[in-house]
Amino acid sequence: MSRPRIFLRPPLTDKELVESNGNAGNDAASSIDMDLEDTVADRERLRHSQEFHLPPIVKSRVDADIQQAHAFAITTALFAAVLISLAQLVEPVDQRTPAWRALRFFTYSSVVINLSGTTLALVLIKMCSEVQFKAHSMIIFDPSSLPARVAKEGIPREVLQNRYELLEKFGMPRGYRTLDAGASFWVLSGNLFTFVSVLMWIWLAGDTVISSVTTIVILFPIFGVAYAIFSTKD
């Protein structure tokens, strides 16, 4: 039975030892350099995020949307309060005619629509208020994002042409454009239902001459509000 052969590697020469140690040292140095570069880049992004402020054009857009949402919230809340008082006047009336039933429908629907509009306005305010924080996070975790590059490159022209895209580049959720566009329709619906409820109450509980004059007077604000809302939208 033959014995297994054992091959022994000859010891390394001094030159080979120096080259081996040199290669290992170069690899270690390269790894350390890469780690240092990553650390420096992380620290730079962290510093930049803490010193970052929204560009004036973005901040002005956010502030304008917050003020608009505040106005929506106040208006719808006041309308809801008025309609709750009207509902208390309508409910005791023992009238089963279609006109009084329609008045109850518009009154209750107006309360729900206006309260929902108030809630929607508060959601819009919250979304706008978080843009600054989300832009800070994008600088730290997404170096290729626009907030991380805006100091050196500026804002592209094609982004400036669409205010929704501009806000989304700085952290605004994509659902904001749908909520903002629907807010005008929601507020207009609340105003319309409110005016209809008041007009129906005037016609059912008031004098015919007074009701006719009041109807003419109220129609102008209705068309004015509708025109103002839709003419100011992008």
Distance of CA 228 to the CA centre of its chain: 23
Please give the Cα distance from 110 to 116 (Å, whole number).
Answer: 10
Q: What is the pLDDT of residue 69?
A: 92
Q: What is the pLDDT of residue 29?
A: 43
Q: Are 170 and 54 in contact (CB under 8 A)?
A: yes
Please give the Cα distance from 128 to 65 (Å, whole number).
Answer: 7
Report in angstroms the alpha-carbon separations of 192 from 118, 172, 186, 229. Answer: 16, 31, 10, 13
- State the pTM of this model: 0.72
Secondary structure (3-state) at 33: helix
Residue 80 in tokens: 């809801």
Q: Are 139 and 45 in contact (CB under 8 A)?
A: yes
- Tens-level pLDDT at each residue, the chain (234 residues): 455 554 445 554 554 544 555 554 444 444 544 444 456 566 766 666 666 788 888 999 999 999 999 999 998 999 999 888 888 877 666 667 788 888 888 989 999 999 999 999 999 999 999 998 888 888 888 878 888 888 777 888 888 888 899 999 999 998 999 998 888 888 888 888 888 888 888 888 777 777 788 778 877 777 777 777 666 655
